[in-house]
Chain A
């Protein structure tokens, strides 16, 4: 079954707005959590990641929050820009195993 689940497969936000993308996981052995960004006809690229020893990691306009007890992590994007329009994939893995389990993706559109 799907080990990582993304809600809201499609979202639209106005430029300058705040957006939250959510992801739930099943395997409580996961200790690495990441968000990848994918433009059409391009490969996914890492946006931000966090290990399970912290609850939050911020990188500019992007912040990932991790709720281990709830098996949930989220991506917050502030001051949305048109170039943020893309598909966002959440992923989780076990460090020792390294393979990643991906969500099905959420398509974000930032409207001017």
Chain B
């Protein structure tokens, strides 16, 4: 079992550019979560999918951020017109369902210059 896979591990973008982050959940896991980690805010929930359907995006900034899960094997988080304050480690996690352990991927460190 390879665990949750996230690519790229590091991404550097210029201000105003687009960034797309990829997540491949553990095979058989029905729930996929996106979190963002910064020193100031800690680990913050962004959005999650269950059986590919968007369930809760209450943590997503209303502008510029979007997430999709086109099939059960991957999810993407897209940030348009990146800003320096978007710099963070973006973590994807998957689980088998309600009350189940969330397994985290290694994260993508996004740096916006």
Chain A positions within 8 Å of B, measured between CB atoms, are 32, 42-46, 49, 51, 89, 95-105
B42 at the interface (CB under 8 A from A): yes
Chain B contact surface mostly: strand
What interface size band does chain B fall in? 20 to 34
- Whether B95 is near chain A, meaning CB under 8 Å from some CB there, is yes
Decide if B56 touches A99 in the complex (CB within 8 Å). Answer: yes
Judging by beta carbons under 8 Å apart, are A103 and B42 in contact? yes
Bound form: Cα–Cα A105–B40 in Å: 11
10 A-B contacts (beta carbon < 8 Å): A43-B107, A46-B101, A96-B98, A98-B48, A98-B97, A98-B98, A98-B99, A99-B33, A99-B56, A104-B41
Q: Is the CB of B104 within 8 A of A89?
A: no
Chain A interface mostly: loop
Query: Which residues of B are found within 8 Å of A101, using beta-carbon distances?
Result: 45
Complex alpha-carbon distance, A103 and B43, angstroms: 7
Query: Are A99 and B106 neighbours in the complex by a CB distance under 8 Å?
Result: no
